[in-house]
Amino acid sequence: GQSLEQPSEVTAVEGAIVQINCTYQTSGFYGLSWYQQHDGGAPTFLSYNALDGLEETGRFSSFLSRSDSYGYLLLQELQMKDSASYFCAVKTSGTYKYIFGTGTRLKVLA
């Protein structure tokens, strides 16, 4: 089957750095995406990795290792507004469909 695993919950304090891991097992792979979703809101795109390595976008960075079927999202200088759920998603080859993980709920404490 196809699956993505993420921690269910992570807690950190304002100003800290947090890493959310994602391991995947899918048939076919184009890339790994990360989405943020606040309670009651729609998911919003954060980053996409198609190749191994680190992609940096402001306070957020995302890493991919295709050989390990592993990626992570790194959030720096945490702010209260970063409290949300974070989903990794694999874009599968063949039909371009996405398989989403179950999400990691991030709580940022003052």
Give the SS3 label for residue 31: strand
Question: CA 26 from chain center: how many Å?
Answer: 16
Q: Does 42 bind another protein (CB under 8 A)?
A: yes
Residues 83-102 as x/- pattern, contact with another protein by CB under 8 A: ----x-x-----xxxxxxxx
Nearer to another protein, 39 or 110 (CB): 39
**Dist. CA 62–CA 20, nearest whole Å:** 9
User: Among residues 53, 60, 49, which one has the least CA distance to residue 89?
Assistant: 49
Contact with another protein (CB under 8 A) among 43, 72, 73, 82: 43
User: Among residues 106, 55, 104, which one has the least CA distance to residue 78?
Assistant: 106
Give the SS3 label for residue 20: strand
Q: Does 38 bind another protein (CB under 8 A)?
A: no
Compute how many residues bind another protein; rule: CB under 8 A. Answer: 20
Q: Does 13 bind another protein (CB under 8 A)?
A: no
Contact with another protein (CB under 8 A) among 45, 56, 80, 107: 45
Site for another protein, rule CB under 8 A: 31, 33, 41-45, 48, 50, 87, 89, 95-103
